[in-house]
Amino acid sequence: MADISAGYDAIWGTPPRAASAPVKAHGFAFDFDESLLPKRDWIVMGHIMRGAVTVISGQAKAGKSMLMLTQAMSLATGLPWGQFVPPDSVPLKVLMINAEDDQDEQFRRAAAAQRQFDVKPDAYCERLRGIQVDGPITLMEYDEVTKRIIRLPLWDALMAELDAFKPDVLMLDPLVELHDADENKNGPMKAVMSELRGLARERHIGIVVAHHIRKGAVTPGDLDAARGAGAIVGAARVLMTFGGMSEDDAKALGIRGDERLRYARLDMAGSNYAPRAGARWFEVEVHELENGERIAALKPWSPPGVFDDLDMATCVSCIEEIDGGIKGPDGTVEFYTDRKDGDKRWAGHVVMRQTGKPAEGAANVVKQWIASGVLERGVYHSPSSRKERQCVRALPSMLDDMRRQAHVIGAPFDTD
């Protein structure tokens, strides 16, 4: 049979794919000592693991690059940044490739970010390194004919940098710039993600990749929020969504008007190894650099607690009124409910009237009282409708305990 590889190479650029090597497999019994099982090799619990890929998926201009740079600085200094806590406060090495910002812009952002840790570049510069690429940062191409990845010269340059620097974490921003594959096709994207996952395992490093979300409204933490093929999500061991504060979040948290544009949230969308966590919030803080420029940075932010502005006496007063119900002129009583639905019996009306909270804040208060057992759901016979209706009543023992606390210490209400 004639050798066609030369002609094939001239037309397509690569020879046909060789036959797959024989698959090796072996059976095993589930006979183990759990005390000897190796622990998962987290670099930062819930965020980055050695031998695995983390994908941070977010809106354009939402601050993904700022987030990743500050995380990198946390790793390089060994200093915690909110809930992002390096292991044992030991500084680690981080290598970054950013296609969207040139070297000077990354320096400006680093100058703002380092104020979160009260450090100067000499505290981390030996452990935080970037690669400046003059042109596209395409590391690989996908051959539609052979169905395989072709590693480009920039891949070799990256390997040389990994050999020399030996980082613990590699950060790549964004995913779409790393390859030429069709982002919406599972086959090509599975091949791209397999290359990154293989690199993480081969080098025993954690890889963090920034990625864009699809257009339209996105629910924080939604696994389907990531743009493109599902293979991207499938290959990531940790997937997060990052974006700005929604109008609904702002209302619930009491943030008014355009002030919500100063806040962003990070949510665990899916992790094969870590429990799902609640939203992690950040506030955009603007710093004036020594060159006179004003540059934004992210700082961890905690939303105001449901009961932060309520003392125990006010809580007791609200619960007593809710428990007492709405008394009619004829002496009949209609009891309150936790169902909003425009019902005048909604318990949130009591909270709004006594505390001045907006409807969303009052709803959160009632929800917490239900969750903690201070208020219990039940039914009563309504004198007006002459049928059973749902209601909420106070649990006497807990209400008595709150009364004692209110008189003794005036403590804020705590659901823990």
Q: Would you state the structure tokens that stand for residue 166, as one six-digit string?
A: 């030996």
Higher pLDDT, 158 or 1: 158
pLDDT by residue (tens digit) across 247-284?
A: 888 877 778 888 999 999 999 886 666 655 568 899 99
Rounded to whole angstroms, how far apart are CA atoms 376 and 170? 51
Contact 347, 322 (CB under 8 A): yes
- What angle in degrees, to the nearest 10, is found between the helix axes of 64-77 and 103-113? 60
| The pLDDT of residue 13 | 39
CA distances from 387 to 229, 338, 379, 380, 390 (A): 53, 18, 10, 8, 10
* Residue at token pair 């201070």: 374
If one counts every other C-beta atom within 10 angstroms of the C-beta of residue 216, the result is 6
| The pLDDT of residue 7 | 34
pLDDT by residue (tens digit) across 178-235?
A: 999 999 999 999 999 999 999 999 999 999 999 998 887 778 888 788 888 899 988 8
Rank 133-137, 349-353, 371-375, 403-407 by mean pLDDT and report only the highest. 349-353
| The pLDDT of residue 271 | 62
pLDDT band at 14 (very low <50, low <70, confident <90, very high): very low
Residue type, 412: P
| The pLDDT of residue 60 | 78
pLDDT by residue (tens digit) across 119-151?
A: 999 999 999 999 988 778 899 999 999 999 999
pLDDT by residue (tens digit) across 24-67?
A: 888 999 999 999 999 999 999 989 999 999 999 988 778 899 99
Counting Cα atoms < 13 Å in the Cβ hemisphere of 141 gives 11
| The pLDDT of residue 16 | 41
Residues 6+ apart with CB under 8 A from 173: 64, 65, 68, 96, 97, 98, 99, 100, 209, 210
Q: Average of pLDDT values for 296-302? A: 92
